[in-house]
Structure 1
């Protein structure tokens, strides 16, 4: 095979690979993340995490699972409330969760609800226990809450819900590093 033929074959192979890579694919709906751990293991992780109880929601809430006890509950989008979407694989989320926990311990703090997405309940409980974060947390396995507030795919994503029900994404700062930043964002 001469050089010209080799180059022609190489160009054809790269062209076909490019077409395959760029060819549109139908996106199957994302299935909720299921834990592969035995249920007893999740019970033990709940005990280790020692999360504060979830507050039962009201009408118009979004169905989520309370990580503290595993019950299905409705999270009412009534403020004032700070919602933080996070995942176990998200490194910035791991830095931000303890900051949110420290803020929530302050007098007159706005309630903070971490919302676990794209991760299993067991993995979320394990990480919260490791970080020492005890906030009442929920799992949005079906992404219903994230869809309702039109949250981006990027994480972490934090939303403030005011007393009048207005929902706004907190983008300044994009990542909380101090409780004072959280305080400023909810004013």
Structure 2
């Protein structure tokens, strides 16, 4: 290789190194002054709760601790965001209804259960949100005009504790003695009269 060719290679290497050194780079997020990566906007759950205006989760009573399998299972009350023991919110007699935002039959059933719960003498109805985000659940309840007391169970602890099937919608009647009886007829409540018949 001639001396001229060697000098040409050296100049080319230096030029490439200079371009790489001066090329603009994204700042390291760990470096001071770095611009943070954009994330999805945070949902204002307090505003969503205010819009949904759900009835409070039942406080329960030491005299009626609720179904044995559900005791100690902590969930979030959708109405105010506080943690609650699901057994205390569903001390019998009561109806526990499992639902999800993607479940279309759940939506009509929630309306029926809400209408039933507003009747004089109705037993408490607690809606358990599963497989869904709290914000999405609150938004759907507000859209449906359903004000039932509701809890969010993202870990699915309530269904596991009750050994419930994973089908939705799904309802249980909680007896005064704390017993749990799955409602199989009807599979989906379509009228207040059906709820009354099942509750007895």
TM-score normalised by length of structure 1: 0.77
- Distance in 2, matches of 1:113 and 1:142, equals 17
Bigger Cα Rg: 2
- Distance in 2, matches of 1:50 and 1:81, equals 21
- 1:120: which partner in 2? 133
Assess if the C-alpha contact under 8 Å between 1:56 and 1:74 holds in 2.
Answer: no
- Distance in 1, matches of 2:153 and 2:199, equals 23
Which of 171, 180, 183 pairs up with 1:167?
180
Structure 2, unaligned runs of 5 or more? 1-39, 66-70
- 1:66: which partner in 2? 77
- Distance in 2, matches of 1:37 and 1:84, equals 31
Assess if the C-alpha contact under 8 Å between 1:92 and 1:156 holds in 2.
Answer: yes
- Distance in 2, matches of 1:37 and 1:65, equals 22
**Structure 1 runs of 4+ with >6 Å offset:** none
Where do residues 90-109 of structure 1 align in structure 2 (5 Å cutoff)?
A: 90-109=103-122
- 1:56: which partner in 2? 59
Structure 1, unaligned runs of 5 or more? 1-35
- 1:32: which partner in 2? none
- Number of positions where the alignment pairs a residue of Structure 1 with one of Structure 2: 151
- 1:27: which partner in 2? none
Assess if the C-alpha contact under 8 Å between 1:56 and 1:75 holds in 2.
Answer: no
TM-score normalised by length of structure 2: 0.72
- 1:31: which partner in 2? none
Q: Cα RMSD between the aligned structures?
A: 1.4
Q: Is residue 42 of structure 2 the alignment partner of residue 38 of structure 1? A: yes
Q: Secondary structure at the match of 1:108?
A: coil
Which of 111, 119, 143 pairs up with 1:130?
143
